[in-house]
């Protein structure tokens, strides 16, 4: 049985965004195994996030970003439950990271459900056309896989984070909800590009 150290607690808090007590309990339950404790916390945070998601978000920030050279700019609205959280350094840093993501990766909408149906149908047709003659079940799986890849280019929450491509923006959002203990919603954004 492994002893839980402060270094382990710090590492797991940083990795998951969970509170100190939750992290300590998860590490104790996992007998010091960080990977197992991460799984325990993800399950626990998932339930917490589902509960938080129904709470109203009427506070937040409008953040702006102008890229070096002034050729790309972003305006972003991110909402939370209280102005107290909106004023925290963690929330502000999260909003700045989202602005950087939007400037760099040029998404067209926040969520996959917001992608225009005509665009999705067009991508589905393109993917299907190249698979003529294959079994229908295989075609469906391949097309769905190609659509997931398409969503990861156009929907902000589906994109890999530019600072850490192993993490999706929706995972970054989940971490912030766990860390700050409030419902957080990326409401909308506008990306400006010179000449576009």
pLDDT at residue number 4 = 80
Give the separation between CA 53 and CA 176, rounded to whole angstroms: 13
Domain at 59-110+155-193: CATH architecture: 2-Layer Sandwich (3.30)
> Can you tell me whether residue 32 is helix, strand or coil?
coil
Determine the 3-state secondary structure of 18 from DSSP: coil
Asked if the domains 59-110+155-193 and 116-154 are classified in one and the same CATH topology, the answer is no
CA distance 68 to 48: 39
Find residue 155's DSSP bridge partners: 109
The three state secondary structure string of 33-68 is CHHHHHHHHHHHHHHHHHHHCCCCCCEEEEEEEECC
Number of CB atoms found within 10 A of residue 3's CB: 8
Closest CA to 10 of 30, 34, 39: 34
Position with higher pLDDT, 68 vs 128: 68
The domain segmentation of the chain, as residue ranges, is 6-52, 59-110+155-193, 116-154
- What's the pLDDT tens digit per position in 150-160? 888 899 999 99
Does domain 116-154 correspond to CATH entry 1.10.286? Answer: yes
The string of pLDDT tens digits covering residues 1-48 is 467 887 787 777 766 666 677 888 888 888 888 888 888 877 777 666
Whether the CB-CB separation of 160 and 166 falls below 8 Å is answered with yes
> What superfamily would CATH give domain 6-52?
Ubiquitin-associated (UBA) domain (1.10.8.10)
User: In percent, how much of the chain has pLDDT > 70?
Assistant: 91
Residue 60 has pLDDT above 60, yes or no: yes
CA angle 116, 52, 10 (to 5 degrees): 110
More confident residue, 163 or 26: 163
Pairing of strands 185-193, 164-168: unpaired
Residue 67, class by beta-carbon neighbours within 10 Å (0-12 exposed, 13-18 middle, 19+ buried)? middle
Instruction: State pLDDT tens for residues 91-134.
Output: 999 999 999 999 999 999 999 888 888 888 888 888 777 777 77
């Amino acid at each position: 049985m492994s002893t839980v150290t402060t270094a382990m607690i710090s590492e797991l808090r940083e990795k998951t965004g969970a509170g100190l007590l939750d992290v300590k309990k998860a590490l104790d339950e996992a007998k010091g195994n960080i990977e197992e404790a991460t799984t325990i916390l993800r399950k626990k945070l998932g339930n917490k996030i589902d509960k938080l998601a129904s709470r109203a978000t009427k506070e937040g920030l409008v953040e702006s970003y102008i890229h070096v050279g002034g050729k790309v700019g972003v305006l972003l609205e991110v909402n939370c439950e209280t102005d107290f959280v909106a004023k925290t350094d963690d929330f502000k840093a999260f909003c700045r990271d989202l602005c950087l993501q939007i400037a760099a990766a040029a998404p067209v909408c926040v969520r996959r459900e917001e992608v225009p149906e005509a665009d999705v149908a067009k991508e589905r047709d393109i993917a299907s056309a190249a698979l003529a003659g294959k079994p229908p079940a295989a075609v469906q799986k391949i097309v769905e896989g190609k659509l997931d890849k398409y969503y990861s280019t156009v929907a902000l929450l589906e994109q890999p984070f530019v600072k850490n491509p192993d993490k999706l923006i929706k995972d970054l959002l989940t971490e912030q909800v766990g860390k700050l203990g409030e419902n957080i919603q990326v409401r909308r954004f506008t990306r400006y590009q010179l000449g576009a």
